[in-house]
Amino acid sequence: MAVMREFTLDIPCGRIAGLRTGSAGAPRVLALHGWLDNAASFVPLSAHLQGIELVAPDLPGHGRSAHRAAGADYSFAATLHDVLDIADALGWQQFQLLGHSMGAGIASLVAAASPERVSRLVAIEALGALPEDPARTVQRMRDAVAATRALPGKRLRVFPSIETAVRARMQVNGLSEPVARLLVERGVRPVHDGQEPGGFEWSSDQRLTLPTMTRMTEPQVRDLIAGIECPTRVIYADPPQPYLPEPLRSQHSALLPRGEQRVIRGSHHLHMEDPATVAAEIGDFLTR
């Protein structure tokens, strides 16, 4: 597959930037990245996927895309509509979804809510949504409100160089240097102090770091997953993430009416760290 190229388009929430590759007329695949990642998340994998038109947007508030308006938040429901707006702007009535982590969760919602538009789904390291214990409803709301009210008083961390930002991302997520650099170079912006550069800061919207006000309960998550009608392939890393342990994640995959699960030894960003193996597990699933 050719090198991914930049694109921009406008949707109701603002300007969307991203990366794309492939030829018009090939199966259409919309790739959704994870939380605080960006479109560069799919650069390594794109080199191993053949015969598709791949479009990877920076989701709102991420990478080089617009932030939401003042007073808005980053709910999954809002992002679901962003994904459909992006597909509309591309002129795609029907398409396939490829998602990683948060992007796989959002893709799950889109597939369940708009089955007439999503023909296939590849979900990497997430499926559906993270469930919440109903007994934590009030505490979650209180935490979210407190964090939101405190946000205006916080300042973004400034890095003296791209290299220091790369090292910070490597430490936080356990990423290799090349993988971290891909995400960081698309995920920072220069800080200017007068006329001189003053380092770099994350370009992502600070509101993305706020706790979610409400989450689905486990029965709601199960109903959501059972409502994904399209053929679905779920790819997980081994060992599992602490927030989605076994056997829960396999139980969730088993709820898919037309789904299958694959497990690969690796880390959470396995699609970037070991793209050839992940691409082999995807196989011809997106080109059928």
How far is residue 187's CA from residue 165's CA, in Å, rounded to a whole number? Answer: 10
How far is residue 5's CA from residue 88's CA, in Å, rounded to a whole number? Answer: 20
**Which listed residue (101, 119, 253, 267) is catalytic?**
101
- Asked whether the beta carbons of 129 and 35 are under 8 A apart, the reply is no
Sequence-ordered alpha helix ranges (H) in the chain: 43-46, 76-90, 102-113, 137-150, 162-173, 177-187, 218-226, 248-254, 270-273, 275-282
Nearest to 101 by CA among 40, 151, 176, 32: 32
Residue 101 is among the residues annotated as catalytic for this protein = yes
How far is residue 213's CA from residue 118's CA, in Å, rounded to a whole number? Answer: 28
**Is residue 87 helix, strand or coil?**
helix
Catalytic positions, written as ranges: 101
